[in-house]
Structure 1
Amino acid sequence: MVNISDFGAKGDGKTNNTAAFSKAIEKCGKGGPLGDASRQKVVVPAGQFLTGPIHLKSNMELHIEKGSIILFSDNFNDYPPVKSRWEGVECYGYSPCLYGENLENVSLTGKGIIDGQGRKWWTEFKRRKQGTKEPVTDRDKEFVKLNEGIDLSNCGGGGIGSFFFRPPLLQFNNCTNVLLDGITVRNSPFWNTHLLYCKNAVVKNMTFQNPEDGCNGDGLDVDSCNGVEISDCNFDVNDDCLVIKSGIGEDGLRVNKPCENLVIKNCNMLHGHGGAVFGSETAGGIRNVAFSNCIFNGTDRGIRIKSRRGRAGTLENLSLDNITMNNPGCPIVMNLYYECGAKAEEIEAFSDRNARPVTETTPCIRNIKITNVTANNAQTAAAVFLGLPERPIENVLFDNVKITMAKNGKAGRPAMAFGMKEMQGEGLVVDNVRNFVQRNTEIKQS
């Protein structure tokens, strides 16, 4: 075990401790497998420790003690380029704040806090969104060169035009045997926590927080992973809470890695665009996912499945059981007309309600089982299912689903879909769905 204080770290909130973290991690020898006492531990004691990016190594545990806050620098130049996946496309972007790549047996534990100090990143993103859409800084121009030849046209709306690739707060990229346990992670420059191409990961007792005025602040993004168990976590974010993804469009098809074999249970979601979310990056496919025993409070949508023409992928064998929702906008959405990030020249094709030829980039939703769900005081609509005429949503089961609509609910758009208008207190809105079975289902007004 090593303590960062032994390498000169100062918890005064001002001293840059990047070198101390790096030296402590380098000092760690090779440890054993996950849970083995021979694993090396780096301890962060109580205090506020300012630092640049932290890059982890295999066979180590970073333990953040109660009373400790890791504060990541908001100096953009502190974050060198790394190649990863950014909004569904493999490309170069800023290094994640806390990063692990190609690692085995790595864990993050404790009762402390990791703070991304994202406000400067959000402010710059908003400024660019309103003003220049071209690369500005030397780092922007470096990203232009590094990403030469990479088709970024399908990336989402998080700053791609100006090459302002904000970093996630935590990212584990192509890692095996990952444990995240007990930490609070907050104020991320971009997505909060990103598991990418990981196998055998456990996430438990975590708290994910991003304030309402942040930008693209998803809680936990599980992206093209196999074998992830998530339990007893709390989410309070400004975008989707827990999101399952697998790459976008042609680049996602090239990588061809599904997100599969996930178990999510005993989690609480507060606010956010959606509680249990699938997509909209779906190209590698999403399958064999079980959500259970979760509570959603005040999310815009509860269960949210989203993709569109061009994003590709099959979403199948998804089960959601024993979910309670309080004050959701729309409890259940399956949307193959997702509108966000579409360019002006694409809208005609993506929004077309007539059948188009099926191609390798036509998405598919099928075999969805929703059981023992109670939604109280829903606002806009009970559920919205928007399949494609050329590829309807297939095999949806509602069993013991009870939805109560608010008497005087707040009007809003239940789905971010092309042509979707505001609704208030509507029931089921269903278009292009095949084999929708309802058992013991009740939708009523309060």
Structure 2
Amino acid sequence: MQDQHNLFAFHVRAFGACGDGTTSDTRAIQATIDRCAGAGGGTVVVSAGAYVTGAIELRSHVTLLLEAGATLLGSQDMAEYPLISARWEGVERTTHAPLIGGRGLQNVAIMGRGTIDGRGQPWWDAYHTKTLGAPRPRLVSFTECDNVVIEGITAINSPSWTINPVRCSNVRIQGITIRNPADSPNTDGINPDSCRNVRIADCYISVGDDCVTIKSGTEDERPDMQAPCENIAITNCTMADGHGGVVIGSEMSGDVRNVVISNCVFVGTDRGIRLKSRRGRGGLVEDIRVSNIVMTDVLCPLTMNLYYACGRWGDATVSDKQAHPVTSATPRFRHIHLSHITARNAKVAAAFLFGLAEMPVEDISLSDVTIGMAESAEAGYADMADGLELMERAGLYIRNARRIRLHQVEVRGQAGPAIRIADAHQIEISGCTTPTPAPGAPVIALQNVQGAFIHGCHAYPGTEVFVQLDDERSSGVALVGNHLDHAEQSLRAAVAAEPENIQITAEIER
């Protein structure tokens, strides 16, 4: 029953697994895991073959090794996924057990060059026909575990979320491939939820929802189960299709902080970097760094949306654009910095940042960012919120914001202003431009902006107006040391304003 070369290796075939693609091997695989754990730990080896299995549980100090040519096939018998209590979409509830899971474990791993095929089609069908009695199983989900490794495997056709550690610490997910059909519902790739010290690296992810989503529960979660998702590093990954490349929220009531996203490529995702929440969620997202990202064929490369409406469409509180009292249920986004980003063929907007009227997004910077819009695109919505206007090849849209810094940002091929900012305070725009100024539109449009320092910018030939004040409420706007020789007008007030309300300092190199 044990490998003669390794006394700590336990082979599932030695415990009765057939690997013929038909016979249920659930009991044999579970028996192997349990025997391995009973021996103090070791490696459970799944050799080449196709093993049909329902839900199985790992044990502490056990590595599940899927050798090349080995495939775990998710059972098509839904009874093989018993009902358990687990967090799903931000709150503890009754769900179907994951294909591979465990709770309260230490030192567990899933490794190798084999494949886990969730065979999710029956679950997707049941979801669409609303015949499910409980949420679908995830492919792999560990809860309250420490020192978790998932490495090298291929995961496909997950019934719902693919990899979902919950309240885990010291998690490493490296070199895995995830492929779910683009139209499969809610088949997110990797979703760390209220986890600490997570590293996601060298992965390829193509799914039917968000590729990587960082979560921390909702306002409906029990207080004793709320916890932040923190100290997260995502690097060297390629992400395709899906609704978002790397997403934070909307379940973020337990806070999300200390996140680094670097050296990634997004291809054909609806959004690239996406932060989303809404009134009632509470929670704080802060200290996020994004660098060295290349995107192609995305709807909108960057979104921060505090009016996220999915699941609450038409809700008067969520959708109201007037200021509400600030309470513990008010979500906040702050201290978020993005640099060295290239996006090509963006379709809806270059960026969409929409804070709450009572809680602006705060301390946000974009540096060395180049965004090229598609030559033609259908109008769409930059994010999911009530009351938004359709956009088509729009530039940066920023509303309800404080302490925004745009440095060396270039937008190409936009229809309308390259940068539009409304209801904002303390704005700095430096070294920003568009080589394709849109006819009849300013490069920068400001509305109700209090304090804007615009310097070191360059106007290309064809620029009609570089900065336009769209209403009489903007004040403290300074243009200093810009190169605006090619602009017909450096500054224009579209609406007459009293001098004491609009104070402009202009030092323009002409």
**TM-score, normalising length from structure 1?**
0.89
Aligned residue for 1:220, secondary structure, equals: coil
Q: Give, as a single letter, the amino acid of the residue that structure 1 aligns with 2:121.
A: R
Aligned to 1:370: 338
Q: Which residue of 1 aligns with 2:147?
A: 177
SS in 1 for 2:138: coil
Measured in 1, the distance between the counterparts of 2:179 and 2:308 equals 25
- Return the alpha-carbon distance in structure 1 between the equivalents of residues 347 and 200 of structure 2: 29
| Equivalent in 241, 245, 251 of residue 215 of structure 2 | 245
Aligned AA (1:278):
I
Among 56, 72, 80, the residue aligned to 1:78: 80
Match of 2:56 among 54, 57, 62: 54
For 1:102, the aligned partner's letter is G
Distance 2:225 2:401 in 1: 30
The CA distance in 2 between the partners of 1:291 and 1:343, in whole Å, is 30
Tell me the CA shift for residue 252 of structure 1.
Answer: 6.0
Q: Does 1:88 align with 2:65?
A: no
- Hey, what's the Cα distance between the residues in 1 that align with 2:53 and 2:38? 24
2:355 is the alignment partner of 1:387: yes
Contact conserved, 1:7 with 1:24, CA < 8 A, in 2? yes
- Structure in which a larger fraction of residues adopt helix: 1
**Secondary structure of the residue that 1:124 maps to in structure 2?**
helix
Which is greater in Rg? 2
TM-score, length-scaled by structure 2: 0.78
Q: What residue ranges of structure 2 are gaps of 5+ in the alignment?
A: 1-8, 414-435, 437-510
After superposition, the C-alpha distances for 1:91-146 in whole angstroms (9 at most, x for unaligned) are 12111111121100001000010011110011011011xxxxxxx7xxxxxxxxxx
Q: For residue 221 of structure 2, give the secondary structure of its aligned residue in structure 1.
A: helix
Alpha carbons 1:30, 1:40 under 8 Å: kept? no
Q: Where does residue 33 of structure 2 map in the other structure?
A: 25
Q: Is the 8 A contact 2:37 2:60 kept in 1?
A: no
Q: Is the contact between residue 2 and residue 43 of structure 1 (CA under 8 Å) also seen in structure 2?
A: yes
Contact 2:313 2:386 in 1 (8 A): no
Q: After TM superposition, list the pairs within 5 Å mapping 1:410-421 onto structure 2.
A: 410-421=378-389
Q: Does 1:291 align with 2:261?
A: yes
Given that residues 182 and 206 in structure 2 are in contact (C-alpha distance below 8 angstroms), is that contact kept between their aligned partners in structure 1?
no
1:436 paired with 2:438, answer: no
Displacement of 1:343 in angstroms is 6.1
CA–CA separation in structure 2 for the residues paired with 1:382 and 1:102? 43
The one of 373, 392, 413 equivalent to 1:424 is 392
The percent of aligned pairs where both chains have the same amino acid is 43
Following TM superposition, by how much is the alpha carbon of 1:411 offset from its aligned partner in structure 2, in angstroms? 2.5
**Greater Cα offset, 23-32 or 109-118:** 23-32
Q: CA deviation at 1:209?
A: 1.4
Q: CA deviation at 1:406?
A: 1.1
Once the 2 structures are TM-superposed, how far is the Cα of residue 253 of structure 1 from its aligned partner? 4.8
Q: SS in structure 2 opposite 1:249?
A: coil
Instruction: Provide the residue aligned with 1:351 in structure 2.
Output: 319
Instruction: State the distance in 1 between where 2:361 and 2:224 align.
Output: 25
Q: Does the residue aligned with 2:159 lie in a helix, a strand or coil?
A: coil
CA distance in 1, matches of 2:76, 2:219: 32
Structure-1 residue corresponding to 2:364: 396
Instruction: State the shift of 1:250 in Å.
Output: 3.5
Instruction: Give yes or no for contact 2:43–2:64 (8 Å, CA) kept in 1.
Output: yes
Q: Deviations over 1:245-292 (max 9, x none)?
A: 000014265523000001111000011100011000010000000000
Match of 1:209 in 2: 179
Deviations 1:331-370 (A, max 9, x none): 00000011111165xx111000001111211100000000
Say whether the 8 Å CA contact 2:198–2:232 is kept in structure 1: yes
In the TM superposition, what is the alpha-carbon distance from 1:30 to its structure 2 partner? 5.9
Structure 1 residue runs of 4 or more that deviate by more than 3 Å after TM superposition: 29-32
Alignment partner, residue 113 of structure 1: 115
**428-437 vs 407-416, which deviates more?**
407-416
Q: Structure 2 counterpart of 1:305, which letter?
A: L
Which fold has the larger relative contact order, with Cα–Cα distance below 8 Å and residues 6 or more apart in sequence?
A: 1
The two structures, once aligned, show a CA RMSD in angstroms of 1.4
CA distance in 1, matches of 2:15, 2:402: 62
Would you say the 8 A contact 1:252–1:284 is kept in 2? no
Q: Report the equivalent of 1:11.
A: 19
Could you say which residue in structure 1 is the equivalent of 2:200?
Answer: 230
Quick one: distance in 1 between partners of 2:87 and 2:334? 26
Aligned-pair CA distance for 1:31: 7.5
Cα deviation code 1:217-268 (max 9, x no counterpart) = 1000010000011100010001000000000014265523000001111000
Q: What amino acid maps onto 2:73 in structure 1? A: L
3-state SS of 1:241 partner:
strand
Provide the residue aligned with 1:255 in structure 2: 225
Which structure shows the higher strand fraction? 2
Aligned residues: 406
Instruction: Give me the whole-angstrom Cα distance separating, in 2, the residues matched to 1:304 and 1:312.
Output: 18
Report deviation, 1:163: 4.2
Per-residue deviation, 1:377:
1.2
Corresponding residue number in structure 2 for 1:152: none
- For 1:363-421, what per-residue CA distance to the aligned partner results, in whole angstroms no more than 9, with x for missing partners? 00000000000111111100001100111100001110111111212322111111223
Whether the 8 Å contact between 2:252 and 2:284 is mirrored in structure 1 is: yes
Query: In structure 2, how many angstroms separate the alpha carbons of the residues matched to 1:28 and 1:331?
Result: 47
Q: What runs of 5+ residues in structure 1 fail to find an aligned partner?
A: 33-38, 129-135, 137-161
Say whether 1:269 aligns with 2:257.
Answer: no
Indicate the SS of the match to 1:123. helix
Matched, 1:360 2:328: yes
Using the TM superposition, name which of 368-377 and 250-259 deviates more. 250-259
Q: Structure 1 stretch 321-330 or stretch 252-261: which is displaced more?
A: 252-261
C-alpha separation in 2, matches of 1:76 and 1:43: 25
Take 1:387 and 1:343, find their aligned partners in 2: how far apart are those partners? 18
Contact 2:340/2:367, CA 8 A, preserved across alignment = yes
Cα distance, 1:164 vs structure 2 = 2.5
CA separation in 2, counterparts of 1:399 and 1:408? 26
Distance in 2, matches of 1:419 and 1:254, equals: 36
Q: Specify whether residues 254 and 103 from structure 1 end up closer, same or farther in structure 2 by C-alpha distance, changes over 3 A only.
A: closer
